[in-house]
Amino acid sequence: MGLHRLASITIGVPNVEETADYYAEFGLARDGDRFSTADGGEQLRIVARSSRRLVELVVGVDDPDDLDRVMDRLGRLGVTTERDSASLSAVETHSGARAVVKILPRIPQHPAASTPYNGPGRVERENLRAPGVVRDGPLRPRKLGHVVIGTPDAEASQRFFVDAIGFKISDEVPGIATFMRCSTDHHNLLLQPSPVAFLHHTSWQVDDVDEVGRGAMRMLEGHPERHTWGLGRHYIGSNFFWYLRDPAGNFSEYYSDMDTITDDQLWKPGTWEPSLRALYAWGPDVPPSMLQPDDLADLMASSHRG
C-alpha cells in the first residue's frame, strides 16, 4: 500500500478555545492550537470556522513515486492539485476538506504491556489484581485512528478518496457508510451521506478496553452532558468504543482492539444491510444523534450563509 497512515487532521469550530480545552482534557498534549498523541506526534489542529467541519486531513506516503501516482489519478478526475517536492494537496469539493498527501515516516508503535486475563480454565493472573483496576495515571491516546464526515455527495467523495487519493474500501453499508483505510487499520476515514458537509467524529486509540472505560469516566466527572454512546463494541471494525461530545458538537471516540488488515488478498470487504448489527455487536441503544446530528438545521443554515 502506497498510503501508510492518517497523519493528522485540522478541524474547524466556532468556539476554538473551549473546544481546545476539551481535547487537552481528553488526553492530547496541547501546544497552542495543535495537539499531539503519544505515538503519532502532532495529529490535531483546531481553527476557527463558522460551523464544525473537517478542514484538512494529511495522509502519509513513503516516497515521491507515491506522490506521482496520486497526482496522476487526481488529474484523470480533473481535480486541481498543488504540488511540491514532499507533498501535494487537493480539495474534495463536496465535503470541503483538503486532502494533503505527504512523504512521512511510518509510525513506530511499541506494544502496550500485555494485559493478563483470567477465564474459565485459564489463569493468566494469579494472586494479583487486574492492571486495569489499579491504573491511576493520566490517560494519553496513542494515535489518531479515524475521522468520520458527512458529505452531500457520498459517491463523488468516495471517488476522490478511493480512485484518486488511494484509500481502500474495507466494508460498506449502502446508503449509510463507507469504511475506508489508508493504513493497516480497518478504517481511517468513513463517509456518510448527509444534506450538508460536517464533521461527525474523530477516534483516538488507547491501549485496551479498560483505558476506553477509564478515559470516558474521567471525562464525564462533572460533565454528564458529554456522554453520547458507550461502552460497546462495534461489529464492523470490531473495536470497543465510547463516544463523547465536544463543546462544538463533534463526537470524540476512545477505541481499542480495531481489526487490522495486513494483506489485502486475505480481507474480503463486506456489504452489510442497514441494521443495528451493522452499527454494533453489543452496547447501549444507538442514540438518534449518532445517525442524524442534533444541530443539522444549524449546519444547513450555516452552509447556506457561507
Domain that holds residue 269: 3-106+140-305
Identify whether 224 is part of a domain: yes
Identify whether 21 is part of a domain: yes
Identify whether 132 is part of a domain: no
Confidence (pLDDT) at 306:
56
Identify whether 98 is part of a domain: yes
Identify whether 276 is part of a domain: yes
Confidence (pLDDT) at 305:
67
d(Cα 171, Cα 103) in Å, to the nearest integer? Answer: 27
Confidence (pLDDT) at 23:
98
Which CATH number fits the domain that encloses residue 151? 3.10.180.10
d(Cα 286, Cα 216) in Å, to the nearest integer? Answer: 17
Average pLDDT value for the chain: 95
Residues of the chain with pLDDT under 50: none
What is the four-CA torsion angle of 188, 193, 198, 199, rounded to 10 degrees? -30
Number of domains in the chain: 1
Identify whether 113 is part of a domain: no
Confidence (pLDDT) at 275:
80
Identify whether 126 is part of a domain: no
Confidence (pLDDT) at 14:
97
Looking at residue 260, what DSSP letter applies? B
pLDDT digit string, tens, across residues 215-241: 999 999 999 999 999 999 999 999 999
Confidence (pLDDT) at 245:
98
Instruction: Report the greatest alpha carbon distance in the chain.
Output: 65
Strands 143-151 and 189-193: parallel
Q: Could you tell me how many residues make up the chain?
A: 306
pLDDT digit string, tens, across residues 82-98: 999 999 999 999 999 99
Confidence (pLDDT) at 2:
86
Expressed in angstroms, the distance from the first to the final Cα of the chain is: 37
pTM of the entire predicted model? 0.96
Identify whether 158 is part of a domain: yes
Three-state DSSP at 184 gives coil
Q: Cell numbers at residue 298, please? A: 444549524
